Amino acid sequence: MPEFWRFNGRVWRVYGLQDGVYGEVELSSTFPQVPKDRLYGFLATAKDDEIAAVQDLRAWWQANN
């Protein structure tokens, strides 16, 4: 698995596989165009309202790409 995410309810971390070892990374290899803090905001919103989280992320994507 090239990447995994951990979220403990407060802190979200992305770990990428590099040279056979997992290390924390700032950009997801799955979503390299989306900053980690933007994905974190998505997760925080999704805890309360998944539809709003998807709409917000989609709107951000359209405005920034």
Burial degree of 60 (CB within 10 A; 0-12, 13-18, 19+): middle
pLDDT (tens digit, 9 = 90+) per residue, 9-54? 788 899 999 999 999 998 888 888 888 888 888 888 998 999 999 9
pLDDT interval class at 65 (50, 70, 90): confident
Strand-pair partners of 12: 7
Distances (CA, A) of 29 to 8, 9, 33, 54: 21, 22, 9, 19
Measured distance CA(14)–CA(44) in Å, rounded:
15
pTM flag (> 0.85): no
